[in-house]
Amino acid sequence: MDLNLTPQETAFRDELRGWLAANVPKDWIKIRNSEGGMEARFEYLKQWQKKLYDGGWAGVHWPKAYGGRGASTMEVVIFNEEMARAEAPPMANVLGLGLIGPTIIAYGNDAQKQRYLSKILSAEEIWCQGFSEPNAGSDLANLRTEAKLDGDHYVINGQKVWNSYGWAAHWCELVVRTDPNAPPHKGLTVILVDMKTPGVEVRPLRQMTGETEFNELFFRDVRVPVENVVGGVNEGWKVAIGTLMHERGTFGAGLTITYKRNFNRLVELAHQLGKAKDPIVRQKLGQIYADIEIMRLTQMRQFSKISQSGVPGPEGSVQKLIWSELNQRVQQFAMELLGPYAQLTNHSPDAVDDGMWNYGFLRSRGNTIEAGTSEIQRNIIGSMVLGLPKSY
């Protein structure tokens, strides 16, 4: 593929760069590290997304007909790179923009597109993804949350877990079992659930970072209108896989710049700490530099493929595997470089970079689990990309 920008892509980049220079808030890093709490930070990110939306920059990858910019794959790459370069805050409605909106665009009917899409872009309605259950994570097709038809409603009972943003979400893309007698993959349905419906309970789970990003969701006789089914009754597997491919294929976008920024900071710290001549430090930094470059080029290849097919494919698993495992190696190296100081959180005046490395190390442990574990990604690459026999 040709990595040089066309005149149209250059114009897109320059317009965006100008807009970001004028609009990126300068206090994000301070807010991110402040004691204000998760809710206050999230409110800030919602306001930021609204600003992007008003400027026409939310959901650039969405078709113009649904409020996006119809950006080409290369323009999406440029968007993510420029956001990272400008140190712009992330958008609040991460799952809505990246996974659930595209799923509704691909599988939803006109009424659903009309009802949900613009509010995802403007962050007026936040979305979460209710897939995993206590006994169905990697083996998602084994899920047990059931939905029984009662007139023009489904009645939902069951439990989900590891639900990101559940505490902030207005809506949930939920996968339920509608036919208990069908083979596991065939009896599933995707249904959109208003989180305010009686019987929905959200219980926070505290993580080792101290945050409660994730939740358990309980459903007790939750009545959801039939019209909220997306993609057809008992057709949920293909809809859910579509969502997961977006999650694996596109979430790494923009990480190259972030990783490069972290890398440059680690080089600076190595100098400051008098460790830049240490041969082991040098070897590890050299390896990280090469790995980031491999990630960037693999990502370009993946985006090139998406631009031909229109949708992310199983190759997204390669990308997911690379960014998650590389981040863990970078964060691990930061711990080794900083020594005992790495353990100080942002509550300590002696914390390096406001405790960013401490937080990054702890949070990175989840990277190889979220959006499918590394073992599952390797299985997918083996069977669906390389054509090897299935392992189960």
Ligand X SMILES: Cc1cc2nc3c(=O)[nH]c(=O)nc-3n(C[C@H](O)[C@H](O)[C@H](O)COP(=O)(O)OP(=O)(O)OC[C@H]3O[C@@H](n4cnc5c(N)ncnc54)[C@H](O)[C@@H]3O)c2cc1C
Q: Which of 354, 392, 375 is nearest to 28 (CA)?
A: 354
Could you give phi then psi for residue 153, rounded to 5 degrees? -130, 155
Closest distance to ligand X from the beta carbon of 145 (Å): 11
Residue among 52, 126, 372, 380 that touches ligand X (CB under 6 A): 372
Residue window 122-161: x/- pattern of binding to ligand X, with contact defined by CB under 6 A: ------xxxxx----xxx----------------------
Kindly state the DSSP code that residue 167 receives in the 8-state scheme.
Answer: T
Enumerate residues 82-121 that contact ligand X by CB under 6 A.
none
For position 264 contacting ligand X by CB under 6 A, the verdict is no
Closest distance to ligand X from the beta carbon of 164 (Å): 3
Enumerate residues 324-363 that contact ligand X by CB under 6 A.
none
Nearer to ligand X, 307 or 367 (CB): 367
Total residues binding ligand X (CB under 6 A): 21
C-alpha of 213 from chain center: 13
Closest distance to ligand X from the beta carbon of 143 (Å): 9
CA distances from 243 to 88, 229, 313 (A): 26, 15, 11
Residue among 49, 93, 159, 163 that touches ligand X (CB under 6 A): 163
Nearer to ligand X, 230 or 338 (CB): 230
For position 189 contacting ligand X by CB under 6 A, the verdict is no
Q: Which of 123, 152, 139, 142 is nearest to 57 (CA)?
A: 123
Residue number of the CB atom closest to ligand X:
137
Question: Which residue in 125, 213, 247, 315 is the catalytic one?
Answer: 247
Q: Which of 149, 161, 150, 227 is nearest to 194 (CA)?
A: 227
Is position 247 annotated as part of the catalytic site? yes
Nearer to ligand X, 74 or 104 (CB): 104
Nearer to ligand X, 100 or 269 (CB): 100
Contact 215, 167 (CB under 8 A): yes
Residue window 201-220: x/- pattern of binding to ligand X, with contact defined by CB under 6 A: -------------x------
Nearer to ligand X, 273 or 369 (CB): 369
How far is the C-alpha of 134 from the C-alpha of 104, rounded, in Å?
A: 26
Helices of type H across the chain: 7-23, 28-32, 38-54, 73-85, 94-95, 101-107, 110-121, 236-250, 255-272, 279-309, 316-338, 356-364, 374-380
Residues 6+ apart with CB under 8 A from 265: 353
Residue among 267, 369, 381, 385 that touches ligand X (CB under 6 A): 369
Q: At what angle do helices 316-338 and 236-250 cross, to 10 degrees?
A: 40
Kindly state the DSSP code that residue 277 receives in the 8-state scheme.
Answer: T
For position 231 contacting ligand X by CB under 6 A, the verdict is no
For position 242 contacting ligand X by CB under 6 A, the verdict is no
3-state SS assignment for residue 230: strand
Nearer to ligand X, 230 or 376 (CB): 376
- 381: tokens are 């690459």
Nearer to ligand X, 129 or 256 (CB): 129
Residue among 201, 268, 375, 388 that touches ligand X (CB under 6 A): 375
Q: Looking at the annotation, which residues are catalytic?
A: 247
Note the residues at the interface with ligand X (CB under 6 A).
Answer: 128-132, 137-139, 162-164, 214, 366, 369-370, 372-373, 375-376, 379, 392
